[in-house]
Amino acid sequence: MRKPHNSMELLIHLLQIAVLLSTAFRLCVAAADTQHKQVKKTYIVHMDKSHKPASSDDHLKWYESSLKSVSHSAQMFYTYDKVINGFSTRLTEEEAQQLEKKPGVLSILPEIQYELHTTRTPEFLGLGNSESIFPTSDKVSEVVIGVLDTGVWPESKSFDDTGLGKPPTRWKGECQVGNNFNSSSCNRKLIGARFFAEGYERAFGPVDNKTESRSPRDDEGHGTHTTTTAAGSSVSEASLFGFASGTARGMAATARVATYKVCWVGGCFGTDILAGIEQAIKDGVNVLSLSIGGSLNDYTKDTVAIGAFAAMANGIVVSLSAGNSGPSSGSLSNVAPWMITVGAGTLDRDFPVYVSLGNGQKYKGVSLYGGQPLSDEVLPIVYAQKASNSTNGNLCLPSSLVTEKVSGKIVLCDRGGNSRAQKGQVVKDAGGVGMILSNTESYGEELVADAHLLPTAAVGQKNGDLIKAYLSSEANPTATISKGATQLGVQPSPVVAAFSSRGPNPITPEILKPDLIAPGVNILAGWTGAAAPTGLDNDKRRVSFNIISGTSMSCPHVSGLVALLKAEYPEWSPAAVKSALMTTAYSMYNNGKTIIDVATGNPSTPFDYGSGHVDPVAALDPGLVYDATIDDYISFLCALNYSATEIKIVTNKDYTCDVTKKYNLGDFNYPSFAVPFQTALGSSSSVSSSARYTRTLTNVGAPATYKVKVSSYISSIKILVQPELLSFSEEYEKKTYTVTFTAPSLPSGTTSFARLEWSDGKHIVGSPIAFSWT
């Protein structure tokens, strides 16, 4: 292009360039948009079987015909007929939109990636002292717990089958052969093992057998830990480096287990999870345990909720973790009312170490370091922020510490940014000899013990701040860290773990979640032989048992307790089992004070613990239960104004809500109460609103008369229960009552709580009540 000679020519020249650039940009955007639309993604295609053409005698041929009508290259990699009628496939966005318009297609769900929610417990729960009231081992051995996780390490002693007979006659599962896993890997304890990798492999490519096994084998540890927590066989002299030594056993030690490996290095994919649930239903499990969670979605778009409904409809109790996003409000996962949502609390066990400073002050922390301890002589100590050239030097991120400033010293690192154990690796690599891991405001006083790689003390924010103050005030600060130990009888216990996700329920505020809490902090259970206790690649230590924390650990506790209830009452519905656990849970210590929330140091609320901390001894004799049928759950969906199509997506059943009937969420027969009120704009507290809830109790004990008792945190909320007495003359007799809540208009964001109890003098059937104003 020639050079312009004057200003007008220059202006025209610049305009020409602008037009060319604009056109090029639009072409690039269009090309990128076209390319984006051509990228294939994984979808779950939900078909309406009632629309299958009469000319098609095979539903698989119908699926394939529907798929080929929009894509000749697409292939089905899973088909489903228990959880839904449909299949999984890879399609472009345009192809998915076209398929969704085809006759007989109910919905097309994009792949959702889920994540894992990463001993003394039986004694703490009362299982060790009350064996005479629990179901016999032969009854428990008829129960099968299916665990969807990272697989299992079959050589673990926790899968010893000594004393167990043949699997239940109804069992249809198998031991799937794969990399590092053969048919002999299963036994009469581990009676089923399968893996599901199709969804994962379509996202990340083939499983790399150098880093993980394309089989049910657990190379990560999480699945072995959760499975043995639920139903591990008794193993004497179990410990982690001598910590928590004793006999390790699962909640239902003689129950059978089946593993469904759906989680891989890259995560857990909805298509694989749905296929795992589908197979577990076909195999004949009684309980499903999923320590898995993901983003919150409406029930019609929640793969796990849809799968859990199908399991529940087949009489299977489904237990899921609440999530590790606490203490933020409304941070829950897995909130559907047909599943048990489990939060986390602590045990009465701790692993204390002590930091002794050069000024004579001593501060308590925790650790599971099992190597050579530091001497009693004090050593130089430095705050990582002062020993790093990095902006976030205080966090001890990889390669952030200056060796010359760290070598031979104890280093104080702040929590956050990377894993707690990795911080110790960073300190060790830089020449440090010990670490103090200090909580920041985000973590408060919550202490989680880890199997560190060098002498370490994890301390709360208060102690951390005091130690930092000492470092800043001394020219040559010194310290040492004591050897760790195991301490029993810690009080108060339990407390709600800070990481445990909290309510209110962000999807359906009228359903209180979590349902309850169970032990989830510093839990000892079986571990894989393929990974270190820290999970770090540089950690070459291998252990048979590990101590880790998370709602991932609390969930299988409840799954194992469910197995005990199913063994004693095999005829009970999933709703009845859940009710027994919820209405007998406790929210107060023996001194009458409410369970503490470690995140705040204050009393916790039902948004933190749900119905309370699980009490298996009481749950075996609940007196009354709040039962629910499939029709009740469908009525619940009608109360949410679901269309017939939406109901079928969730339930896989044909149902149209009765337009002449008024469906009310307050009438859904849930064992707890959540009562959301709307704040009236511009109104004073003298303006009140009311809500009327209905509940039905079923007698599962001896004939008795129950009297109601209500206690409220604030007197301005009026609670009227009618009738006040319920008399039962026979087993499985049902009685209905109503509760009317009348409350003043309070500012948006206000919460308050109450409790309703029915008692016959022997049993207490308790329900928390949570009020909220928005």
Active-site residue set: 149, 222, 552
Q: Bridge partners of 518?
A: 344
Rounded distance, CA 744 to CA 466, Å?
A: 45
Rounded distance, CA 89 to CA 486, Å?
A: 51
Rounded distance, CA 127 to CA 135, Å?
A: 11
Q: Bridge partners of 8?
A: none
Contact 512, 489 (CB under 8 A): no
Using alpha carbons, list the distances in angstroms from residue 284 to 169, 179, 672.
Answer: 10, 25, 30
Classify strands 292-293 and 76-80 as parallel, antiparallel or unpaired: unpaired
Residue 560 CB partners (closer than 8 Å, separation 6+): 145, 229, 230, 231, 250, 251, 252, 255
Q: Quote the DSSP letter at residue 9.
A: H
Contact 197, 214 (CB under 8 A): yes
> Three-state SS for 348?
coil
Encoded tokens for 497: 């773990």
Contact 157, 232 (CB under 8 A): no
Hey, which bits of 504-641 come out as E strands?
516-519, 523-526, 545-548, 596-597, 602-603, 624-625
Residue 748 CB partners (closer than 8 Å, separation 6+): 679, 773, 774
What DSSP letter does each residue of 711-727 carry, written as one string? Answer: EESSTTSEEEEE-SEEE
Q: Is 298 exposed, middle or buried (0-12, 13-18, 19+ CB in 10 A)?
A: middle
> Three-state SS for 606?
helix
- Other Cβ atoms closer than 10 A to 61: 13
- Other Cβ atoms closer than 10 A to 11: 11
Contact 293, 334 (CB under 8 A): yes
Q: Which ranges in 232-378 belong to alpha helices (H)?
A: 270-283, 303-313
Distance of CA 606 to the CA centre of its chain: 17
Taking the CA atoms of residue 745, residue 756, residue 342 and residue 526 in that order, the dihedral angle to the nearest 10 degrees is 150
Candidates 465, 355, 453, 454; CA nearest to 415 is 465
> Three-state SS for 262?
coil
Classify strands 478-481 and 487-488 as parallel, antiparallel or unpaired: unpaired
